[in-house]
Structure 1
Amino acid sequence: MTTVRRLPFPISLTGEGIQLREWASEDLDDLVVLLDEPDIARWTPMPSPFDMAAGIAYLKRAHQGRTSGQRIQLAITVDGGKPLGEVLLFGVDHGRREAELGYLVGAPFRRRGLAAAALTLLSGYAHGTLNLRRLLLRIDPSNTASTAVARRCGYRLTGEPPILQEGPYGPSSLDTWELVESQTNTRIDRLRNVATGRYGRRT
C-alpha cells in the first residue's frame, strides 16, 4: 500500500552550475518551444504536436501536482531565468522510501551536461532531504542519450521486466534503472550533505 505524504512546495535547488525552479505561467511560450519536438514525443507520453493549448494544460497539471504535494516538477535553468528543460520526481511511496525521476532538455540546449546536472541535483535532494532510498528511472533502451545520463549519474539497470508505454509515435518498452548507493559518485554524496544542511531532513 502506498504511503501518501505531501512533497514540499515551493522549492528552488541550486548546484552543479544550474538552478531548478518552479514553473510559472510566464514560461508558457518557452515551454511550448521546448516540448513541441519529435524526439521528446518519441520517448515520452507528451502530446504531439505540442501547441499552446497543450502548454496551458501542462502548466495547469504541473501547478496542481506541486501545490497538492504529489510531485516535484521543476524547470532546468542556468540562473533562474529561461527554462532549458525539466526534471521531475513522482510516484513517491514514503512507506517504501522510493520514487521515480525523469528529465528532458530542449534540443538547442543539449550536450551541455544539463540533464546530468539536474538529475544529480534532484537525486541528492531526494536522498538527503526527502529521505528516499530507492530512486528509479524508466528509459527506453533505444534512447541512448538518456541511458548515458543515467549511467553518468550512478544509475544502473535493475533487470526488472520492461514496462510498456504508449506515446504519440507508438508504444515503447521502458527498462528500470536504480541509483546504486554503493556506486554513487561523490557529486551525489556532496549534494546530499548540502541539501540536508540547507533544507533540513524531512521524514
Structure 2
Amino acid sequence: MAADALPYPLRLQGSGIVLREWQPDDLEDLVTMLDEPAIARWTPMPSPFDIEAGLAYLKRAQTGRLSGRRIQLAITVDGGEPLGEMLLFGVTGDRREAELGYLVGARHRRRGLATAALTLLSGYACGTLGLGRLLLRIDPCNTASTSVARRCGYRLTGEPPIAQAGPYGPTSLDTWEYVEGLPGPRRQRLRNVAARRYGRRP
C-alpha cells in the first residue's frame, strides 16, 4: 500500500455506533439492505440488487480498501449486523478534498444512524486524516439525506448541479460542504446559500 493511502483496516466507534470493514459474511444482509427502490432512486446501485450484485459489490469494496483509494465501512451499533454504509472517496492528490456518502437500510431508518455515522467519519477525516474540504453530493428531492447533511454541519456551496444517471432515471446533485473549521466568512457564505434554498435554520 502506498504511504499516503487511506488506512486499512479501520474501525471507528462513537455516538452509539461502530463503523467497521465489510466482511464476506455480510453478503445476505448487504443484498437485503441494497435491494430497495428508494436506494436505487438516489444512488447508482443496480436494481434489482441480487446475490451476484452483492458479490461484485463486496469485491469492489475490498479492492478499493486494499488499494487505499477509499474508506467504505458498514454502519453497525455493536460491530455486528450491517445497518447501512459510510463512504469516503475521490480524495485529491494533495489530500485536501474528498467526497462522502451514506445510506441506511429501510428497516433501520429514523434512528439517527446516518447522522451519527456522518458525524463520526467527518470528524475522523478532518482530524486524523487532515482533509481540508469534505463534500456531499445530494439530489435536492432526497429530503431525508439533505436533513442529515444539515444536522451534521454541511451547507450548500452554490456550485452548479451535477447530472447523474440511475436505473430510475436521471438525478441532479447539489454539492454540500462541511463547514466545521472553515474561516468565519466562508462558513457564513455557505450558510447563506443554504438559507436561500431551504430557509433559515439553526
Answer yes or no: same fold by TM over 0.5.
yes
Pair 1:122 & 2:121 matched? yes
Q: Counterpart in 2 of 1:83?
A: 82
Counterpart secondary structure, 1:103: strand
Counterpart secondary structure, 2:165: strand
Q: 1:65·1:71 contact (CA, 8 Å) conserved in 2?
A: yes
Per-residue CA deviations over 1:140-171 (Å, capped at 9, x if unaligned) read 00000000000000000000000000111011
Cα distance in 2 between the residues matched to 1:153 and 1:128:
15
Cα distance in 2 between the residues matched to 1:133 and 1:124:
11
Q: Counterpart in 1 of 2:151?
A: 152
Q: 1:134·1:179 contact (CA, 8 Å) conserved in 2?
A: yes
Offset at residue 52 of structure 1 (A): 0.2
The amino acid across from 2:105 in the alignment is G
The amino acid across from 2:37 in the alignment is P
- After TM superposition, the structure 1 = structure 2 runs for residues 1-203 of structure 1, keeping only pairs within 5 Å, are 5-95=4-94, 97-182=96-181
Structure-2 change in CA distance of 1:73 and 1:83 (3 Å)? same
Cα distance in 2 between the residues matched to 1:39 and 1:137:
18
Cα distance in 1 between the residues matched to 2:164 and 2:40:
12
Offset at residue 95 of structure 1 (A): 1.3
Offset at residue 68 of structure 1 (A): 0.3
The amino acid across from 1:57 in the alignment is A
Give TM-score, length-normalised by structure 1: 0.87
The amino acid across from 2:99 in the alignment is E
Counterpart secondary structure, 2:170: strand
Q: 1:5·1:94 contact (CA, 8 Å) conserved in 2?
A: no
Per-residue CA deviations over 1:44-66 (Å, capped at 9, x if unaligned) read 00000000000000000000000
Counterpart secondary structure, 1:70: coil
Give TM-score, length-normalised by structure 2: 0.87
Comparing both chains, which one has the higher relative contact order based on Cα–Cα distances under 8 Å and sequence gaps of 6 or more? Answer: 1
Unaligned runs of 5+ in 1: 184-203
Offset at residue 5 of structure 1 (A): 3.4
Aligned-pair identity (%): 77
Per-residue CA deviations over 1:24-58 (Å, capped at 9, x if unaligned) read 00000000000000000000000000000000000
The amino acid across from 2:149 in the alignment is A
Per-residue CA deviations over 1:74-131 (Å, capped at 9, x if unaligned) read 0000000000000000000141511000000000000000000000000010011110
The amino acid across from 2:144 in the alignment is A
